[in-house]
C-alpha cells in the first residue's frame, strides 16, 4: 500500500495510507468520493482517464529516454466515433481498450458529447478536435456518416485522393483549435490511405494565482547531459496542495487553475531517477485519492515557462492495448462492406504555460494553508497531468525530460 506523506511542518511529516484515507472518508461522509465514480459523466471521465494512463505507459515504454505528451480525451473521442461503424464484436474490442466495458451506459455517446462540451468551455482553456478520415473509394455507408454528424456535430472527412486532401484536413484542425495546432497530419498523405482517425488538442489554462517573477532564465537539470537554460516563473507564498510519496520517490504538487482545472507535477527526488514507478502508479482512482489527500500549503513555487508541441502516430501503442486482433481485421461493417485497415492514428497536442493569473499571491498565511518556508522547484525531469476536477477527466498527460525537446 503506497503512503502519501503530507507536509505539515519544516521538520515533521504526517503519513496517511490510502486505507486510512478511505476510513476517514467513510467516517466523515463519502459523498464526494462516491459521486466521482457513479454519475454517468464522471464514470466516463474515469474510464477515459484510465485509457489515457494505459496509452501513456505504452508510448513512454517505447523510448524511455524521450519526452512524451498526449491528450486522452481527444483519442478516446476519435475512437468512439470509429466504434459507431464497427460490428458488435468489434465494438466490444474497441470498448475494452477504451475502458468503456465497465460503464454499462446505454447513452454513452450522449454522455461523451456532453462531457466534451463541458470540457471545451472557454474558461478551462482546453480545445480538442477529432475526426475520422475515409477514402471515397470505399463506397461509404450514408447511415454511418449521418449518425456521426448527428451525434458529434461533424461529419467524417471524405478523402477524394488528390493533393487537396492534406490542406483541407489540416486547415480544419487548425480552425477547430483556434489556430493553435497546425499540420496535424504530416505530408505527404499516403496514396493508399483508406481509414485514418485523427485527434488534436490545445491547452492554455489560466492560473488562479499569478507568478510575480516571469521569464527568469535558469538551469533545468538533465539526466546524463549538461543542464539546459530555460525560462522559469516564480512566486513566493503560492498556494498549492502538496505531498511526498516515499514509495514512488517523488514530491507531488497540485496547482489550481481557473474553472476547476488543476495541473499536477510529479517531481522525482533525483535527476537520475527512473520515472517508470510513477508511470505505473497512475490510475483514475489513485489521482482522485491524491486530490483528496494532498495538504494545502504555501510555497516558493518555480515552474518552467513552456510551450510543448508533440506529434506522433499512436497506432503501434494502441496495438499493445489489446487491439492487435481488431487491427488485423477491423470489421467496420457499418462504414463499408469492403475490407479496410487503419493506416495510422495521428495525434498532435500543444500546451502552453504563462505567468498570468487572476489573483496576486497573499503575503500572509491563510486559514486553509500553512506558510512553512517550503519550496517546490520543477528544475529536472518530471511528469505532469492536466485534470478537470469536477468530472475527474484527464485532459493531458506528459513526461518532460527536457523542455527544449518539445
pLDDT at 23 over 70: no
Closest among 210, 203, 179 to 261, alpha carbons compared: 203
Position 244 confidence tier, pLDDT thresholds 50, 70, 90: very high
Name which of 35-44, 72-81, 202-211, 396-405 the model is least confident about. 35-44
Residue-level pLDDT at 357: 87
pLDDT at 207: 96
How much is the pLDDT for 1?
43
Closest C-alpha to 284, from 13, 51, 7: 51
Q: In this predicted model, which residue has the larger pLDDT, 92 or 4?
A: 92
How sure is the predictor about 36, in pLDDT bands with cuts at 50, 70 and 90?
low
Partner residues linked to 375 by β-bridges: 300
Backbone phi, then psi, for 179, in 5-degree steps? 80, 5
Q: Are 287 and 395 in contact (CB under 8 A)?
A: no
Identify the weakest region by mean pLDDT among 154-163, 241-250, 342-351: 154-163
The phi and psi torsions of 65 (rounded to 5 degrees) equal -105, 15
133 and 68 Cβ atoms separated by less than 8 Å: no
- Give the pLDDT band (50/70/90) at residue 3: very low
Q: How many residues make up the chain in this entry?
A: 406
> Cα(201)–Cα(311) distance, rounded to whole angstroms?
11
pLDDT at 163: 79
Residues 6 or more apart whose Cβ sits within 8 Å of residue 229: 217, 218, 219, 220
What pLDDT score does 406 carry?
Answer: 65
Nine-digit cell string for 331: 470489421
In whole angstroms, give the CA distance from residue 195 to residue 202: 24
Residue of 201, 203, 205, 296 lying closest to 259 (CA atoms):
205
Distance of CA 312 to the CA centre of its chain: 15
- Quickly list DSSP for 204-267: ---EEE--SEEEEEEEEEETTEEEEEEEEEEEEEEEEEEEEETTTTEEEEEEEBGGGEEEEEEE
For residue 161, what pLDDT is reported?
81
Q: Which of 16-30, 215-229, 305-319 has the lowest mean pLDDT?
A: 16-30
Tell me how far the alpha carbon of residue 120 is from its chain's centroid.
Answer: 14
pLDDT for 364:
64
pTM: 0.90
User: Are 112 and 80 contacting, i.e. CB atoms less than 8 angstroms apart?
Assistant: yes
Query: Is 343:190 a contact under the CB 8 Å cutoff?
Result: yes
Give residue 15's pLDDT band: very low, low, confident or very high (50, 70, 90).
Answer: very low
Identify the structural domains of the chain with CATH numbers, from first to last: 3-36+206-306+353-405 (2.30.39.10), 71-120+126-203+308-351 (3.30.497.10)
- The answer to whether 228 and 386 have CB atoms below 8 angstroms apart is no
Answer whether residue 17 shows pLDDT above 80: no
CB atoms under 10 Å from CB of 238, counted, come to 26
- Structure-block grid coordinates of residue 249: 520517490
Q: Cα 33–120–204 angle (5° rounding)?
A: 95
Q: Beta partners for 377? A: 302
User: String of b and e for 72-111 (b: at least 16 CB within 10 Å)?
Assistant: bbbbbbbbbbbbbbbeeebbebbbebbbbeebebeebbeb
The pLDDT confidence band at residue 372, using thresholds 50, 70 and 90, is low
pLDDT digits (tens, 9 = 90+) for 150-207: 999 999 999 988 778 999 999 999 999 999 999 999 888 877 889 999 999 999 989 9
Pairing status of strand 3-7 against strand 393-400: unpaired
Amino acid at each position: 500500500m503506497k503512503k502519501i506523506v503530507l507536509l505539515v511542518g519544516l521538520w515533521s511529516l504526517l503519513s496517511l495510507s490510502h486505507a486510512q484515507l478511505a476510513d476517514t472518508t467513510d467516517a466523515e461522509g463519502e459523498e464526494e468520493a462516491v459521486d466521482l465514480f457513479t454519475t454517468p459523466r464522471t464514470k466516463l471521465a474515469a474510464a477515459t482517464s484510465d485509457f489515457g494512463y494505459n496509452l501513456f505507459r505504452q508510448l513512454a515504454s517505447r523510448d524511455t529516454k524521450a519526452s512524451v505528451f498526449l491528450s486522452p480525451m481527444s483519442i478516446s473521442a476519435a475512437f468512439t466515433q470509429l466504434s459507431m461503424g464497427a460490428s458488435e464484436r468489434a465494438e466490444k474490442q474497441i470498448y475494452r481498450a477504451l475502458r468503456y466495458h465497465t460503464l454499462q451506459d446505454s447513452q454513452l455517446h450522449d454522455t461523451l458529447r456532453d462531457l466534451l462540451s463541458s470540457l471545451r468551455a472557454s474558461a478551462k482553456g482546453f480545445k480538442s478536435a477529432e475526426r475520422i478520415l475515409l477514402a471515397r473509394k470505399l463506397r461509404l455507408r450514408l447511415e454511418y456518416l449521418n449518425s456521426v454528424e448527428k451525434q458529434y456535430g461533424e461529419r467524417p472527412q471524405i478523402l477524394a485522393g488528390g493533393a487537396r486532401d492534406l490542406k483541407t484536413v489540416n486547415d480544419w484542425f487548425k480552425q477547430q483549435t483556434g489556430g493553435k495546432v497546425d499540420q496535424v497530419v504530416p505530408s505527404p498523405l499516403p496514396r493508399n490511405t483508406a481509414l485514418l482517425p485523427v485527434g488534436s488538442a490545445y491547452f492554455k489554462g489560466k492560473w488562479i494565482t499569478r507568478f510575480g517573477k516571469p521569464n527568469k532564465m535558469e538551469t533545468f537539470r538533465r539526466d546524463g547531459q549538461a543542464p539546459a537554460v530555460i525560462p522559469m516563473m516564480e512566486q513566493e507564498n503560492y498556494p498549492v496542495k502538496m505531498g511526498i510519496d516515499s514509495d514512488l520517490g517523488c514530491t507531488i504538487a497540485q496547482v489550481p487553475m481557473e474553472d476547476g482545472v488543476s495541473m499536477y507535477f510529479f517531481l522525482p527526488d533525483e535527476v537520475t531517477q527512473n520515472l517508470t514507478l510513477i508511470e505505473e502508479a497512475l490510475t483514475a482512482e489513485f489521482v482522485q485519492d491524491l486530490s483528496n489527500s494532498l495538504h494545502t500549503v504555501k510555497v516558493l513555487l518555480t515552474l518552467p515557462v513552456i510551450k510543448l508541441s508533440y506529434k506522433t502516430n499512436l497506432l503501434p501503442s494502441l496495438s499493445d492495448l489489446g487491439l492487435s486482433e481488431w487491427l488485423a481485421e477491423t470489421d467496420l461493417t457499418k462504414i463499408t462492406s469492403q475490407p479496410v485497415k487503419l493506416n495510422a492514428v495521428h495525434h498532435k497536442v500543444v500546451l502552453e504555460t504563462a505567468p498570468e493569473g487572476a489573483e496576486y499571491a497573499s503575503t500572509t498565511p491563510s486559514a486553509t494553508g500553512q506558510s512553512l518556508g517550503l519550496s517546490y522547484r520543477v528544475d529536472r525531469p518530471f511528469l505532469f497531468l492536466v485534470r478537470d476536477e469536477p468530472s475527474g477527466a484527464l485532459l493531458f498527460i506528459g513526461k518532460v525530460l527536457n523542455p527544449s525537446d518539445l
